[in-house]
Amino acid sequence: MTAPTKPPYGTAADPAPERAPGEPLHSPVIDWFDEHARDLPWRRPEAGAWGVMVSEFMLQQTPVNRVLPVYEQWLARWPRPADLAAEAPGEAVRAWGRLGYPRRALRLHGAAVAITERHGGDVPADHAQLLALPGIGEYTAAAVASFAYGQRHAVLDTNVRRVFARAVTGVQYPPNATTAAERRLARTLLPEDAETAARWAAASMELGALVCTAKNESCHRCPIAAQCAWRLAGKPAHEGPPRRGQTYAGTDRQVRGRLLAVLREAHGPVPQTALDRVWHEPVQRARALDGLVADGLVEPLPGGLYRLPLA
């Protein structure tokens, strides 16, 4: 007597295994990444978790080409969190140079101090412990856990959000701020295997940075163009709230940057008169300086002197 023939998939006796929603996207995107990923220092094994964390702070709202030289100098000077923690926070601001948004330097210094005090100088691998560090939000905690430790987390930066918006949701741009629906979608698209999930996080981010860009997207180079909901719909124009442009000239940000540049280049306290020379409009200049003091980036001293913070 022969064994009964096994029914084909799709019958009631043996239904076909369900595919994860993101499965058709994983292999083509990861294969593309394996071939086209940029050789960046924080992706090399020797970078370690601290190198990954430094890069994630620096890359927020700042392009790679501006980050690279500052990153190299930073890691050469402070190869471990304890090295940075031993310095005054003002030195972190000084070394930050002109990367912009210098409060990130203070937050990174605060994280280094906490890592040194709470974790023996080693960047923790546990996601909850990462999230508990000062200056670390959901994105950075997920990115460090994923990229440094190969864990399974949804890593949602602007590039990933744009890829998911177009390829899956069928719209040109994601919302201005990350929504709960985007987080749910990102978790749904995660591969089950941790190693693959970490690779997927890096690959989808690189795809958004190099191919599925905000402007002039290169669909002919996209490994998932045939599956992209936005492309298949004829690339409908954005219908949501207006995209927020980033202006700089004439803003308080520009004034703050000029004031900080004077303090970074000085070897001691700077008099008010030296700061007054960097911007012609006194009300805006005073507002920018007050903001720097309130943010902890500048320390006022008696006699109308100012310096980068020592504590």
The residue type of 13 is A
Tokens representing 211? 């191919």
Q: Is 57 helix (H, G, I), strand (E, B) or coil?
A: helix
Contact 153/145 with Cβ under 8 angstroms? yes
Give dist(CA 66, CA 98) in Å, integer: 9
Catalytic residue among 35, 56, 72, 117: 56
56 catalytically annotated: yes
Give dist(CA 118, CA 82) in Å, integer: 11
To 5 degrees, how large is the angle CA 162–CA 189–CA 212? 25
The residue type of 264 is R
DSSP letter (8 states) at residue 169:
I
Cα dist from 17 to 22, 200, 263, whole Å: 15, 22, 63
The whole-angstrom distance between residue 127's C-alpha and the CA centroid of its chain comes to 16
DSSP H or E segment with residue 299:
strand 299-301
As annotated, the active-site residues are: 56
